[in-house]
Amino acid sequence: MTEDNSGSEGLLQSQTTGEDRVRMVVRQLSEPRTANWIASEAGWSHEPTSRVLERLVADGILHRDETGPHTTYYPDYRRQAMQEAMHLRDSGHSVEELTDRLTDMKTQIRDWKDEFDVESPNQLRGTLADEMVDAEEEDRHREIAREWEHLQRRIEIVGFAIREWDFLAPTNGPAEASS
């Protein structure tokens, strides 16, 4: 860790509570993680992190999985996708701009399919076993496979935001209850 990173981490810790940092970490989760991992990322001790995680589970923000050797926590991916779609809708981009982004992402995936003659990120990873490629090319294949998976997730969310553009429009105020 560089001194600059230490300074920014110190600033983050002095400007936020441990609970805030735990919430920031869990918002970023893309796979299930243990309380210890989350506590480490948040720079906070295990016990208070666990209490926050349990509150987030009780609130329906996180799910707990106790089927493996360690209890893990993961976000409600539907809630995350909905929040991301609302953020895209509220970001000031037009539906046309999002449609262009969607087209660009799909074009990139088609280009990779053509370039590597594969149909999926895992098939691309599989080429590492089939081909004699150097270390640099192996790294490139792995990076493209990760980016491909990321684009597939983004395509789903951006496509949802486009399809539900009107539904996701911000409201002007609280809805009034009918009597």
* The amino acid at 29: L
80: confidence class by pLDDT, cuts 50, 70, 90: confident
Give the C-alpha separation, 73 to 35, whole Å: 7
* Residues 6+ positions from 112 with CB-CB distance below 8 Å: 118, 124, 144, 148
Give the C-alpha separation, 56 to 10, whole Å: 25
12: confidence class by pLDDT, cuts 50, 70, 90: low
pLDDT at residue 49 greater than cutoff 80: yes
pTM exceeding the 0.75 threshold for the entire prediction: no
The CA angle 61-66-72, to the nearest 5 degrees, is 55
Q: What is the edge-to-edge ordering of all strands in the sheet holding 33-34?
A: 33-34, 72-75, 62-65
Give the C-alpha separation, 73 to 62, whole Å: 6
Per mean pLDDT, which range of 8-12, 25-29, 129-133 is the poorest?
8-12
pLDDT at 133: 79
Judge whether 81 and 157 are in contact, CB under 8 Å.
yes
